[in-house]
Amino acid sequence: MRALVINGRLDLVETELPTPEPGPGQVRLRMAYGGICGSDLHYYNEGANGEYVVREPLVPGHEVSGSVDVDPSGDLAPGTPVTVHPATFGKPEPGIEDRRHLWPGGAYLGSASTQPHTQGGMSEFLIVDRDMVRTLPAGLSLRRAALAEPLGVGLHGITVAGGVQGKQVLVSGSGPIGLLTAAACLAEGAAEVTSTDVLAGPLERARRLGVHGTVQVGTEEIPAAAFDVVLECSGVHAAVNAALLAARRAGIVVQVGMVPNEPRGINLAPLISKELQLRGAFRFNDEIDRAIELLDENPAIEDVITHELPADRAVEAFAVAKDSATSGKVVISLWHGDS
């Protein structure tokens, strides 16, 4: 089968790999689309995502969709359109039995965090456990379904916040995760959603999604003490400081965007004086199921996708995805296209 492989920094190639065979409890999928995530960009541009270094050929991609190719159990018919929950879970620990995504020893598609690496879905075929497969509603295209995983990330941020129904919400950062988080807030009943970014392009995309207001950081001021919930999606330490200032007294700030694993200067005085709650959000648990529902109900969310390129232009696709001024979500058509 054909696959996209990252061998190291700025080394991305299309290659031939053996076509895998499903084992007991597994399903083979024929892949259609793969979205480029921030972690994929790090693996390609730097040869590492934080502490996780590419030490062997890595197939990227955890934002994927496709169709069933072979299900040995006979439960899923060939051609059934699906997306994938990209996580396998480790061993439960006391106190977090209901939060599988936090169990130690888990893995994620397209990740160098394990050795051998956990291969991703930017290939013609992918083997996954049956419980990772999510069948799609009849009206949900495979292209749009590739957004289910990142939309699940935004929805998990809302879960960690305790919900946004009827609340004033600030979404910090309008890259793909920020855009999808804003879309999730709108769908989940936020009274008002304001999006921020340093660039004009991402803010225009946020306005097209229907947010109530935007703030261009560096040009405009973020209102202070104005928001019940702040969902920080940029991962920039200066934005964390701004989020603490933007939250109202006794408000909630959720760190959705990944940050480097290193000391950074954060002003915690507002956290104390306003009795804020600063919470972390890591990937998601089962929010991908709600993400599929929202994508089916709200076709306009697909507008977050600004570029689609074929697999034989993958290097170009990664370059486009790196340019956040001009691109939102970039997806790669994986040889088979939509169906």
Encode pLDDT of 111-144 as tens digits. Answer: 999 999 999 999 999 999 999 999 999 999 999 9
> Is omega for the bond preceding 57 within 30 degrees of 0, making it cis?
no
Q: What is the pLDDT of residues 91-108, one digit of tens each?
A: 999 999 999 999 999 999
pLDDT average, residue stretch 263-271: 92
Structural contact between residues 142 and 33, judged by C-beta atoms closer than 8 angstroms = yes
Average pLDDT over residues 2-24: 97
pLDDT at 296 over 80: yes
Residues with Cβ < 8 Å from 220, sequence gap 6 or more? none
Collect all residues with Cβ–Cβ distance below 8 Å to 57 and sequence separation of at least 6: 5, 6, 7, 15
Determine the length of the chain: 339
Residue 119 to residue 61: CA distance in whole angstroms: 8
pLDDT value at 339 more than 50: no
Closest CA to 261 of 113, 109, 99, 61: 113
Please tell me the predicted confidence (pLDDT) of residue 91: 96
The pLDDT tens digits of the residues spanning 199-213 come to 999 999 999 999 999
Output the CA torsion sign for 164, 170, 173, 179.
positive
Query: Alpha carbon of 116 to those of 55, 56, 113: distances in Å?
Result: 9, 8, 9
The tokens for 223 are 């209102």
Give residue-wise pLDDT tens across range 213-234.
999 999 999 999 999 999 999 9
SS3 at position 217: strand
What mean pLDDT is reported for the chain? 96
In the block, which residue shows the tokens 């499903």?
A: 22
The distance from CA 333 to its chain's CA centroid, rounded to whole angstroms, is 18
The C-alpha atoms of residue 47 and residue 40 are separated, in whole angstroms, by 10
Q: For 69-82, what is each residue's pLDDT tens digit?
A: 999 999 999 999 99
CA angle 198, 165, 215 (to 5 degrees): 15
Find, among 258, 182, 252, 245, the residue nearest to 213 by Cα. 182
pLDDT over 90 at 264, yes or no = no
Task: Strands of 204-257 (E only): list them.
Answer: 213-216, 227-232, 247-255
Binned at pLDDT 50, 70 and 90, residue 262 comes out as confident
Given a contact cutoff of 8 angstroms between Cβ atoms, the answer to whether 4 and 60 are in contact is yes
Instruction: State the pLDDT at residue 338.
Output: 40
User: 126 — phi, psi (to 5°)?
Assistant: -145, 135
Predicted structure pTM score: 0.96
| Amino acid present at 97 | E
